[in-house]
Amino acid sequence: MAKPVIELRGIKRNFAMGSHTVKVLKGIDLTIEKGEYVALMGPSGSGKSTLMNLLGCLDTPTAGEYTLNGQDVSRLSSDDLADIRNKEIGFVFQTFNLLPRQSALDNTALPLVYAGLGKSKRSERASQVLEQVGLGDRMDHQPSQLSGGQRQRVAVARALVNNPSLILADEPTGNLDTKTSVEIMALFNEIHQNGNTLVVVTHEEDIAQHAHRIIRLRDGMIESDTKNR
């Protein structure tokens, strides 16, 4: 049987605030299998952002164990976590996080630079994924020459370029109008149908409804975990 992509056991995350300790995550148990499409929801203060940072290996837990694609990443160093992020996780952010003076092709290829691929292989792979997300005719354009939806497509292509184990999207339609949001969610559906594991962090109910599983957090705990279809 294939290993889960994500396995959390007893995850806690505390933060020191002066002389006080704030307990943000209070013992999260969660398993996400390969190929799942999951929405992570919760009100402000629920621990949603903290959990997303842990899932993305941007932070480490105070207690508990996080296994990502079969590897325990709970206690890795900052350098090792950076390596894991580059190899295993594709990020899509609300604000796109594109380099303004770089072309769509160069922005997409950026993770491959960190992975040590040569320029011709980087260009070949980045071109493939830009074609996949419908931007084959915009590869030489800089972000300022692209619409919001096109910029998000570049961000999605960048997330896909390394063939990661996990696509983690943080409020991916937060800066988009309704029509463009629908287009981006349709693209996410295609990505999922291609076998990718997707976790979308959102506060929008209509965006969450695209996922096949919805996990709701409240007060640092999982309040509900339901199949959506």
- Say what the pTM is: 0.92
Q: Give me the CATH number covering residue 175.
A: 3.40.50.300
Q: pLDDT (tens digit, 9 = 90+) per residue, 45-60?
A: 899 999 999 999 999 9
Scan for tokens 């997330």, then name that residue. Answer: 159
Question: Is residue 50 assigned to a domain?
Answer: yes
Averaged pLDDT, 105-116: 91
pLDDT for res 1: 62
Domain span including residue 53: 34-64+77-227
Asked whether the beta carbons of 55 and 90 are under 8 A apart, the reply is no
Count of domains forming the chain = 1
pLDDT averaged over every residue in the chain: 93
Question: Is residue 48 assigned to a domain?
Answer: yes
Question: Is residue 159 assigned to a domain?
Answer: yes
- pLDDT over 90 at 96, yes or no: no
Structure tokens at 110: 């950026």
Please give the order of strands across the beta sheet that includes 89-93: 89-93, 166-170, 198-201, 37-41, 213-218, 221-227
pLDDT for res 94: 85
Question: Is residue 19 assigned to a domain?
Answer: no
Based on the number of CB atoms within 10 Å of its own CB, is 207 exposed (0-12), middle (13-18) or buried (19 or more)? buried
> Which segment of 56-65, 86-95, 130-139 scores lowest on mean pLDDT?
86-95
pLDDT tier for residue 126 given thresholds of 50, 70 and 90: very high
- pLDDT over 90 at 174, yes or no: no
Question: Is residue 9 assigned to a domain?
Answer: no
Question: Is residue 53 assigned to a domain?
Answer: yes
Enumerate the H helices of 70-228 as residue ranges. Answer: 78-88, 104-115, 119-132, 148-160, 178-193, 205-208
Q: Which residues contact 1 (CB under 8 A, 6 or more apart)?
A: none
Instruction: Name residue 65's beta-bridge partners.
Output: 9
Structure tokens at 53: 């940072």
